[in-house]
Structure 1
Amino acid sequence: MPMPGQQKRLFNSLNSTSPDTLHQVVPTNQTHIPCHGFFVPNELFLTLGLLSLVENVMVVVAIIKNRNLHSPMYYFVCCLALSDLLVSGSNLLEILVVLLLEKRVLVMQAPTLQRLDNVIDVLICGSMMSSISFLGAIAVDRYISIFYALRYHSIVTPCRAQGVLVGIWVSSALSGTLFISYYNHVAVLLCLIGFFLSMLGLMVVLYIHMFIQACQHARRIARLHKRHTIHQLSILKGAVTLTILLGIFFLCWAPFFLHLTLLVLCPKHPTCSCYFQNFNLFLILIICNAIIDPLIYAFRSQELRKTLKEVILCSCIFRRQLVIGWDEDE
């Protein structure tokens, strides 16, 4: 969190591009080559954050409202939306405090500001950890539903699913707290990097295996119908879906974790210092992932889309009734 008149973003313990940061990890006066970080205006953070917030709130409300969506698969999707909601909400909160401090509307003592900064950092770090964890949980759930279809309901029971959900939330909260508390320890950064690589590896292995299985299934169908085009179209569709799933995850999260990796490998190297100056861009990519996740994992469900339409329709009717009531009172 910035002091009045200073520009500083969340995760200041990692953002080594500003000499005014409260948590100084990497001295930036070591840079000897000209480099310019990608400027990200506060308005862009606000716009993307609000869009993500609205999207994920809609997903959570729809899943809670529709009892047909009260299944382990949608539990994971709902918690993913809740994690992304927290990522966006904490970023919005940080931006609002930044603006209020700069406009002198909000005045806080340095110790209080430091504590607030730590709370927001823990919130966003924990929600990012939970978001990645639920992406991995969704991949495992889909893998079981395909390869163990007949035993799926006996393997993924509501009780076990709830246990996994609680475990992810608790471990994410603890991880976020430890990370912010011991941000300057290399072991902590290595743990975070290892966590990302393990989740990436898990998703790559599971989704590629599912893709291979889908291709084999399409090949058998093509042989039965003696249509080679069916097989080709199925492979193409599966390849596109796989590329979208893994590509978006990698593109949105890899720059941030590469930032962590460079903090370990070359914290004082000029080239690495130039990369550090794009930290705000990496946060924007994470928020973009929170916007895209509902499109991939939630809005593709016809049942969920139907519930969303009902929720939007009910809210419009309620708002219209309020307007009519106000007019009658006047």
Structure 2
Amino acid sequence: MPMDMPPMSLEQAQRLYEGSAYVEVVDQSRGGSAATAAALMAQQNDAQRARSQALLDTALGIGVKAGIAWQLDKIRRDVKANERKLDTIYDFGNLMIQGRVVPPVIVQATDLYNQDGDLTLRLSGAYYKIESQAKFASVAPSWRGYLSFPTAGTLPSSFNMIKPATSAEKSLWEQGVADGWRQGIEQADIMLEHSMDRLNRDFIGMLRFHEFVLQGKITMPLIASESIPVTNNGSTMAVDETLLRITALSEFDGDMKKWTGLTPSAAPNSDVRTPWITSAPRAAAPAPSSATAQTFPVVGQGSSVPSGVVDGHDN
């Protein structure tokens, strides 16, 4: 499918074997492709059943690819429409250390239950982990790096795929494409949800790091600087160089006075703006109801969240 062409619709995928010029809306009230295939195969010999299974597998594969491409195209357009809001909320630039170092990401879990055999039970009010340590970066992270999705592969042409020949096979084909389409939509939605989870984990984790530094709960990474007037190896020469090195990574402070009784809880915020990404056409804000669109609110973990980001806890 050419890059400049819009994604194929369900009806177009179902009529792929007939060519792109003919599009027909099909009845979606029939049973699933598995039931249709079982009924058809019950009346066939081994060779016919093998053909029907191959036809169904081809239809499912085409439906999945077309569904993913269709849904991701809608997601990209909705992300594009919310660029300014996302730029405002996910401002990683203000979280950088000295403008050159990406801060550590601190993740947390609360109210943990861990049983080791019949005689030992561990209950934890809060658990913290340095998910990723500080690192140099020429530019700050961006939400665009999290919400960029791959393009779908090219669908097979009608010349190199098995085609339905009878009305029963056409019914099986159409139902197989429809089932694959639904699976593709679900996969694209899962991709979006996982991407939003990673974005919120990292952004809120960096906010939590800076909060813990101010509270003395974790150390800042140590950055050593060395000025090198000239570096000359005969064939190349660099002048006025500065060498930066991270000589010590962040570590938690084990002083219990800084941690005791500080089990986090979500701070109420009556003026929280929730950015939303929806894969269906939408009206003006507020976000559409679940009856008209699949909506993915920004969800994260943590007691300290930026304005406009929901931390996933009930207040």
Larger Rg: 1 or 2?
2
**Structure showing the higher helix proportion among its residues:** 1
Give your verdict on TM over 0.5: no
> 1 or 2 for the larger relative contact order (CA 8 Å, sep ≥6)?
1
Give the TM-score normalised by structure 1. 0.27
**Structure showing the higher strand proportion among its residues:** 2
